[in-house]
Amino acid sequence: MTNLTQKQLDSHWMAYTGNRQFKQDPRIITKASGAYYTDDKGRKIFDGLSGLWTCGLGHNVAEINEAVAEQIKTLDYSPAFQFGHEKSFQLSEKITEFLPTELNRVFFTGSGSESVDTALKVARAYWRKKGMGTKTKFIGRAKGYHGAGISGFSVGGIPANRTLYGQGLDSYHLPHTQVPGTEFTNGMAKQGAERADDLLNLITMHDASNIAAVIVEPMSGSAGVIVPPQGYLERLREICDQHNILLIFDEVITGFGRMGGDCGAIEFGVTPDVMTMAKQITNGAIPLGAVAFKQEIYDTFMEHGGPEYMLELPHGYTYSAHPVACAAGLASLEKIRSENLIARVKEMSGYFGDAVHSLRSSSTLITDIRNYGFAAGITLAAPDGEPAKRPFQVAMDMWEKGFYVRFGGDTIQLAPPFITESEEIDRLIDALSDSFHKLA
Ligand code: PMP
């Protein structure tokens, strides 16, 4: 049992946690190193989701630890507004090395949610600067996740995150791309690109003169790994271009290697106008988010910025470009490059994908398996009205056996660290197979 006192347990309202259930049997993690956590009972637990899609390099990374320690001693904080420090410029350049060349202006935030908020605000302001201030609505996608802010849940399409909080931003949603008949596809499905054409219906309904931007995850992560069908993102790009609508890729999960490419845009060969990022930039060690813009967007703000003492974009956060976070980011991205880890993910993604799909035979309750790079989602048939029940049972059983996997909705999510060995994939899959068998 935990060493925490009841008073301590009763003081904390935990994020995205079943607090009532958790407090009866708290799962407390005390340490992490490489691909493993240690819990308060001294058990070693394989990190099957790289933290929250954050820690592709594994945990306790010496280079990041050293960079953080050094930075805290040298410059622990500098005002984010009207001052700079060298690391934020160095990290901006470094980040652009992982993006399509057109995305060359980086704005820093403290999280993925703030990155999404920034992207949406800039999209609206951009059209105003161009004299098209009626372009204020946003188009998201069913099942999309874009963070916990009011803007994020508005464009997001996960019902539980939308229904509780009432009125959000003026947003409309494309259908998701889990198309019947494409279940158990390994990688990208051949059918489903036509679902992008629903954007044309939304444009007919609301008129492009009222729409600021379309925001999608190139591959939906939190919804349970929904891989774009072949040609889908290209089609979205084409329609946005034809109708003067900005295309935003939310790459908070897909950026920096998870897909076996530098980012989703490069991996899928479609360049958005704006890209949001977070998580893997610092390997999760220190909170940091970023948004990259095309030069033309930046230039529009500079051209219409008014007198030079004025702010071209009155927007930012106390922790924008935090020096310690930037130091962690530089160390993380340098290590991803120097150890060629993205190529490693690409190389091993076939092995991982085949292993995940081998689970199909472990239970008739499995209704779909999807995967790309080092990410996979396994969907389970839902007992009446309780889609999360079985995934929850599987995740708990896995935890008991020493594996951390995440459940969300009717799906189990997997995203092992980039450093995972094939034997570790085998053990993860064997343990899952056993948990699925137990369900029946
Ligand atoms: N966008 C996407 C695609 C995400 O997956 C997440 C987090 N899971 C967010 C935004 C929000 O990021 P954060 O939790 O850092 O605010």
Structural contact between residues 223 and 376, judged by C-beta atoms closer than 8 angstroms: no
pLDDT greater than 80 at residue 15:
yes
pLDDT greater than 80 at residue 162:
no
Strands 246-250 vs 211-216: parallel, antiparallel or unpaired: parallel
The pLDDT-based confidence of 161 (bands split at 50, 70, 90) is: confident
> Cβ(154) to ligand 1 under 6 A?
no
pTM attached to this predicted model: 0.98
Task: Determine the distance separating the centroid of ligand 1 and the alpha carbon of 374, expressed in angstroms.
Answer: 18
> Cβ(233) to ligand 1 under 6 A?
no
The pLDDT-based confidence of 3 (bands split at 50, 70, 90) is: confident
pLDDT greater than 90 at residue 440:
no
Distance CA 111, CA 152 (A): 12
> Cβ(113) to ligand 1 under 6 A?
yes
Predicted local distance difference test score (pLDDT) of residue 413: 98
> Cβ(332) to ligand 1 under 6 A?
no
Q: What is the pLDDT of residues 79-116, one digit of tens each?
A: 999 999 999 999 999 999 999 999 999 999 999 999 99
Ligand 1 atom with the shortest distance to the CA of 251? 3
Task: Determine the distance separating the centroid of ligand 1 and the alpha carbon of 12, expressed in angstroms.
Answer: 22
The pLDDT-based confidence of 42 (bands split at 50, 70, 90) is: very high
Ligand 1 atom with the shortest distance to the CA of 279? 15
- Given the structure tokens 């219409």, which residue do they identify? 304
User: What structural domains and CATH numbers belong to the chain?
Assistant: 6-60+340-439 (3.90.1150.10), 64-338 (3.40.640.10)
What's the mean pLDDT in 119-131? 98
Predicted local distance difference test score (pLDDT) of residue 22: 85
> Cβ(251) to ligand 1 under 6 A?
no
What's the mean pLDDT in 119-135? 98
Cβ neighbours of residue 244 under 8 Å, at least 6 residues apart? 132, 208
CA distances from 111 to 20, 73, 115, 125, 138 (A): 27, 24, 6, 21, 21
Strand-pairing partners, residue 171, are: 138
Ligand 1 atom with the shortest distance to the CA of 221? 5
> Cβ(222) to ligand 1 under 6 A?
yes
Predicted local distance difference test score (pLDDT) of residue 1: 64
Counting beta carbons within 10 angstroms of the beta carbon of residue 128, is it exposed (0 to 12), middle (13 to 18) or buried (19 or more)? middle
Closest to 278 in 3D by CA, of 55, 47, 16, 34: 55
Ligand 1 atom with the shortest distance to the CA of 220? 3
Distance CA 361, CA 382 (A): 18
Query: Which residue's CA is minimally distant from atom 12 of ligand 1?
Result: 112
CA distances from 89 to 105, 292, 307 (A): 10, 13, 24
Distance CA 258, CA 252 (A): 10
pLDDT greater than 70 at residue 144:
yes
What's the mean pLDDT in 330-335? 98
pLDDT greater than 90 at residue 258:
yes
Predicted local distance difference test score (pLDDT) of residue 370: 98
Task: Determine the distance separating the centroid of ligand 1 and the alpha carbon of 113, expressed in angstroms.
Answer: 6
CA dihedral (291, 221, 99, 170) positive or negative: negative
pLDDT: which is higher, 21 or 156: 156
Q: What is the pLDDT of residues 354-372, one digit of tens each?
A: 999 999 999 999 999 999 9
Predicted local distance difference test score (pLDDT) of residue 159: 84
**Phi and psi (nearest 5°) for 193?**
-60, -30
Ligand 1 atom with the shortest distance to the CA of 250? 3
Q: What is the average pLDDT score of the chain?
A: 96
Structural contact between residues 265 and 251, judged by C-beta atoms closer than 8 angstroms: yes
> Cβ(140) to ligand 1 under 6 A?
no
With a pLDDT cut of 70, the percent of the chain lying above it is 100
Ligand 1 atom with the shortest distance to the CA of 112? 12
ipTM of the complex model: 0.99
Q: What is the pLDDT of residues 189-205, one digit of tens each?
A: 999 999 999 999 999 99
Query: Which residue's CA is minimally distant from atom 6 of ligand 1?
Result: 147
Closest to 217 in 3D by CA, of 286, 278, 284, 144: 144
CA distances from 303 to 26, 212, 247, 297, 298 (A): 55, 20, 22, 10, 9
